[in-house]
């Protein structure tokens, strides 16, 4: 047998002189190291968001800790290019000397070898406002990035537009798949004038742009290959946004935020109406706006739409009906989220909302946030399943998730309870779906009903003679 002795608190083999932690097969150790690092897959839906997603945790120490376990681990780590291919640089981090940050960037790029790079760069100030050391770092780092653009698969740049515009030289960016450019100066000056390198990215699939200017260079990016697009703009850039959308015929998802939209920002003539044969998710937000953005939503032709999320300044009636009627398959909408703080988008007339719901019988997820007086007793009654109900008798028969914050003041709380009980108890084979999750709020009586995961209805803020406000089924 092999004797086992203890040295410095670590058991090791006296025959081989190898600690157990170093006795792992190299292939297995490489996989463990890779799994130990924070997720750096920028295909994650939240990857481009400011301060969100896995990019935030891509610090230098994560890889260095793995390489510092032992000499054997260091050797394995240094020869594992995937451990060095994903990193984040922040010039605004004071804990790291600028010269060291640049050195680490060069080290990571060197050890990544031929593996495609995943890079996130954050520069909070303009170069001319930086202290001398950090200004030099920003310039040198951008030059270093320029020389390695051809290696990038995922690229996120957060900084002033004049700094980002340094990427002006042509470069082969055929590996680039995900791109995020966020203008950290709120002057909406991101124009990408003279930026030609991104036009060569023929494999680009996801693009996120924030703070583009009204004179944004449409030709700076190869839009034909883009599948997922996120635009965060001001109202003045709406025309530029529409020009971009005309160039993106193959979109699958579109998320658009238009801030402070004014009537003067709406173009007097509309661009050719784009048709997106495969776009299934549309998310539109118009905070602090004074114009009904439904006119823009109606400009898009989305026959394959499955998920619609609209927030703030968008009135659904009657524009939403016109949008639905124009689409080839209006009854295929499966998810609808309406977030509004006013009586609109359906005004107070329950007939409008009732007619709209009849157009979307395949809806599985419904979230209505804000004041919706139109969600009244007639709709709740039509949504309730009776013992002999058929598929055609029930409104929204496929509904599985239902959230309504502040239903109509004329709704009887007992009617809400009856609706939820009927939808979670239904066991027929008429094609009616069972309600899996629900939250309904009655603002007038300060009552709330919630369907829990275990199939119970939890009631709060409403007196009831059942124990602890729980209904068990």
Q: Which residues contact 27 (CB under 8 A, 6 or more apart)?
A: none
Phi, psi of 149, deg, nearest 5: -60, -35
> Same domain, yes or no, for 199 and 338?
no
Q: Which residues contact 466 (CB under 8 A, 6 or more apart)?
A: none
User: Hey, is 434 helix, strand or coil?
Assistant: coil
435 and 450 Cβ atoms separated by less than 8 Å = no
What Cα–Cα distance (Å) separates residue 94 from each residue in 104, 183, 213?
15, 21, 31
- pLDDT tens digit string along 277-299? 999 999 998 887 777 777 777 78
204 and 176 Cβ atoms separated by less than 8 Å = yes
- Identify which has the larger pLDDT, 465 or 358: 358
265 found inside a domain: no
267 found inside a domain: no
What Cα–Cα distance (Å) separates residue 249 from each residue in 161, 246, 274, 365?
27, 7, 7, 27
Q: Which residues contact 73 (CB under 8 A, 6 or more apart)?
A: 21, 22, 29, 33, 66, 67
Domain boundary among 158, 173, 206: 206
The 10 Å Cβ neighbour count of residue 189 is 17
18 found inside a domain: no
Domain boundary among 174, 189, 206: 206
Q: Which residues contact 332 (CB under 8 A, 6 or more apart)?
A: 304, 305, 306, 362
225 found inside a domain: no
User: Hey, is 272 helix, strand or coil?
Assistant: coil
Residue 415 parent element (H or E): helix 413-425
Domain boundary among 206, 232, 251: 206
Residue 139 parent element (H or E): helix 132-147
What is the pLDDT confidence band of residue 46, given thresholds at 50, 70 and 90?
Answer: very low
Structure tokens at 383: 């949504």
Q: Which residues contact 158 (CB under 8 A, 6 or more apart)?
A: 50, 120, 121, 122, 123, 124, 180, 182, 184
Q: Which residues contact 350 (CB under 8 A, 6 or more apart)?
A: 374, 375, 376, 378, 379, 408
> Same domain, yes or no, for 28 and 174?
yes
- The pLDDT value recorded for residue 321 is 65
Percent share of the chain, pLDDT over 90: 26
10 found inside a domain: no
Q: Which residues contact 134 (CB under 8 A, 6 or more apart)?
A: 91, 98
Residue length, the chain?
Answer: 473
- The pLDDT value recorded for residue 61 is 78
115 found inside a domain: yes
Say how many domains are in the chain: 2
- pLDDT tens digit string along 221-261? 999 999 999 999 998 899 899 999 999 999 999 999 998 88
246 found inside a domain: no
Q: Which domain holds residue 202?
A: 24-206
- Identify which has the larger pLDDT, 340 or 9: 340
> Same domain, yes or no, for 57 and 192?
yes
400 found inside a domain: yes
Residue 408: pLDDT over 80: no
Name the pTM for this structure: 0.83
DSSP string for 298-322: TTSB-TT--EEEEEES---TTHHHH
What is the pLDDT confidence band of residue 465, given thresholds at 50, 70 and 90?
Answer: very low
The 10 Å Cβ neighbour count of residue 472 is 9
- The pLDDT value recorded for residue 190 is 87
């Amino acid at each position: 047998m092999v004797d086992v002795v203890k040295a410095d608190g670590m058991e090791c083999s006296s025959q081989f002189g190898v600690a157990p932690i170093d006795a792992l097969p190299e292939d297995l150790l490489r996989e463990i190291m890779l799994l130990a690092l924070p997720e750096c897959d920028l295909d994650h839906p939240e990857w481009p968001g400011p301060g969100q997603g896995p990019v935030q945790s891509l610090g230098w120490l994560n890889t260095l800790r793995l390489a510092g376990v032992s000499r054997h681990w260091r050797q394995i780590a240094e020869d594992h290019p995937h451990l060095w291919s994903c990193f984040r640089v922040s010039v605004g981090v004071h804990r790291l000397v600028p010269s060291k940050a640049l050195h680490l960037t060069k080290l990571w790029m060197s050890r990544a070898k031929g593996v495609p790079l995943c890079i996130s760069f954050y520069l909070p100030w303009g170069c001319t406002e930086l202290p001398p050391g950090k200004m030099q770092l920003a310039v040198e780092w951008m030059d270093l990035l320029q020389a390695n653009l051809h290696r990038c698969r995922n690229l996120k740049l957060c900084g002033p537009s004049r700094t980002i515009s340094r990427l002006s030289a042509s470069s082969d960016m055929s590996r680039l798949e995900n791109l995020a450019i966020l203008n950290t100066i709120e002057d909406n000056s991101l124009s990408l004038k003279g930026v030609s390198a991104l036009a060569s990215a023929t494999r680009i699939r996801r693009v996120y742009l924030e703070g583009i200017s009204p004179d944004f260079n449409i030709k700076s990016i190869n839009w034909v290959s883009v599948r997922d697009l996120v635009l965060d703009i001001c109202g003045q850039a709406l025309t530029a946004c529409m020009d971009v959308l005309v160039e993106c015929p193959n979109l699958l998802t579109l998320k658009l935020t238009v801030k402070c939209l004014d009537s003067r920002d709406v173009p007097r003539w509309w661009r050719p109406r784009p048709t997106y044969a495969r776009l299934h998710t549309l998310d539109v937000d118009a905070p602090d706006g004074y114009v009904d953005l439904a006119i823009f939503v109606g400009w898009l032709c989305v026959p394959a739409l499955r998920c619609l999320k609209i927030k703030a300044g968008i009135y659904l009636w009657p524009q939403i009906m016109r949008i639905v009627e124009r689409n080839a398959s209006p009854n295929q909408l499966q998810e609808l989220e309406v977030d509004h703080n006013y009586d609109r988008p359906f005004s107070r007339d329950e007939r409008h909302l009732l007619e709209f719901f009849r157009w979307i019988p395949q809806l599985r997820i419904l979230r209505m946030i804000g004041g919706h007086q139109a969600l009244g007793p007639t709709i709740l009654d039509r949504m309730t399943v009776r013992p002999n109900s058929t598929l055609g008798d029930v409104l929204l028969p496929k509904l599985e998730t239902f959230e309504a914050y502040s239903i109509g003041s004329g709704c009887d709380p007992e009617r809400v309870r009856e609706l939820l009980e009927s939808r979670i108890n239904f066991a027929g084979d008429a094609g009616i779906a069972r309600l899996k999750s629900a939250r309904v709020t009655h603002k007038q009586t300060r009552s709330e009903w919630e369907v829990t995961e275990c199939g119970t209805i939890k009631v709060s803020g409403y007196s009831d003679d059942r124990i602890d406000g729980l209904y068990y089924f």
